[in-house]
Amino acid sequence: MAQEGVPADDQEEEQEEELDTVKISFIPKGLRLGVDLVGAGKTFLDSDKTELEFSADVELHRYLINLEYGQFEIARIGVDGSSYQNKGTYFRTGIDINLFKKDTDVNVLFFGLRYGKASFDDQLQYQTTSIVFGGNDLERENVGLGARWYEVTAGLKLHITNNIWLGFTNRLKFSLKIDDSATLTPHDVPGYGLASKENYWGFNYYLIYRIPFKKTK
Amino acid sequence: MTGCFEDGDCTTTTTDLLKIDFRKYESNEVDTVEIIGITMVGTDSVFYPLAAATSITLPLDPNVTSLTMNFDFELVTHELVLDYAAVPKLISPDCGVEVTFMNVIADETKNDFDSVAVRSSTLDEEITTNIVIYN
């Protein structure tokens, strides 16, 4: 619409500026639910191990709010005849930023942060070997032991077909803190890895189902 | 969760040997003592240190959490009671279990030395003194 007293070139420029205005919305666009295929495969193939992990994320503009939940169980046999069992659950929560600015398939290339927390029971059966006091078969256990850590994540989630996505997440885990125990030093921490490692690298490969809250344009 | 498992190094500095130094109560100087023998509950073994010793090393029992030691001197016998935790840890399946002795406490009510001080409550090969006995 022409405006009186305003040069035609300036009017066009103003209209272009209006058309380029971007509206940022933090209304959730969809919910993604995933299952970790690597852990599921290990659970299926190894009778001494259970690693089941599920994930959920909600998109808010270019940010994804994440929640991951897992169940972990493992049995280990030591070369000295000792036997260790660990069973517990864990969750991680955090935020990712999507580096794809505009993608009609809602693909995600992300990096982010996580806070992880685990609760677990573990037991160790072992033999003491003392030349002076003799040997004994002993058992020690922790019940409801807690641990927490932080993660830096990076990964990709790609639209395959319909509401199906496939994605992976690389994790650098650090700053592990385990509750004090004067009974048994844990070998594993569910969701983290080996308790003796200051840093731990992790990888998940997810099969994801996305529930859109509204149609993507 | 998939992590890269690295086989642990099986070397360890944990030990079951408790290191005891003797010092004079009044001056805190190193004390030379003549111990005829040391016996401990849980074993028939008798430990015979050198005729004149300023320090000794004795093993703790990994099967219990309290150990009573009897020091036989020429004219008197003194008792030392220690409470501690023997905490096991699976280093790795290829290495097996190690036991760390920690939280060593000298029960003042049960000891009849003039004074007993815990310098380091965790037993480790790299630690030179765990207990100081003042007499």
pLDDT above 80: residue A16: no
Tell me the two tokens of residue B24: 């004079």
Residues of chain A positioned with their CB less than 8 A from the CB of B59? 130-133
Residue B90 at interface with chain A, using a CB cutoff of 8 Å: yes
Q: Give DSSP secondary structure letters for B79-96.
A: EEEEEEEEEEEEEETTTE
Q: What backbone phi and psi angles, to 5 degrees, belong to A95?
A: -130, 140
Mean pLDDT score across all residues of chain B: 86
Give the tens place of pLDDT for each residue, A93-114.
Answer: 999 999 987 777 778 999 999 9
CB contacts of A38 in chain B (<8 Å) are: 1-2
Average pLDDT over residues A119-132: 93
In chain A, positions 31-70, which contact chain B (CB-CB < 8 Å)? Answer: 36, 38-39, 42, 51, 53, 70
Torsion of CA B96, B105, B58, B38, to 10 degrees: -140
Domain ranges of chain A: 28-212
Query: Residue A11 pLDDT > 90, yes or no?
Result: no
pLDDT recorded at residue B46: 80
The complex's ipTM works out to 0.82
Q: Indicate the pTM of the whole model.
A: 0.83
Better-predicted residue by pLDDT, A12 or B15: B15
Domain boundary assignment for chain B: 17-134
**Over 60: is that where the pLDDT of B6 sits?**
no
In chain B, pLDDT over 90 holds for what percent of residues? Answer: 50
Q: Which CATH class is domain A28-212?
A: mainly beta
Nearest to B90 among A72, A84, A204 (CB): A84
**Span of A1-5, A19-23, A57-61, B52-56 with lowest mean pLDDT:** A1-5
How far, in Å, CA of A51 to CA of A56, rounded? 17
- pLDDT class of B3 with cuts at 50, 70, 90: very low
**Residue B3: both structure tokens together:** 């992590």
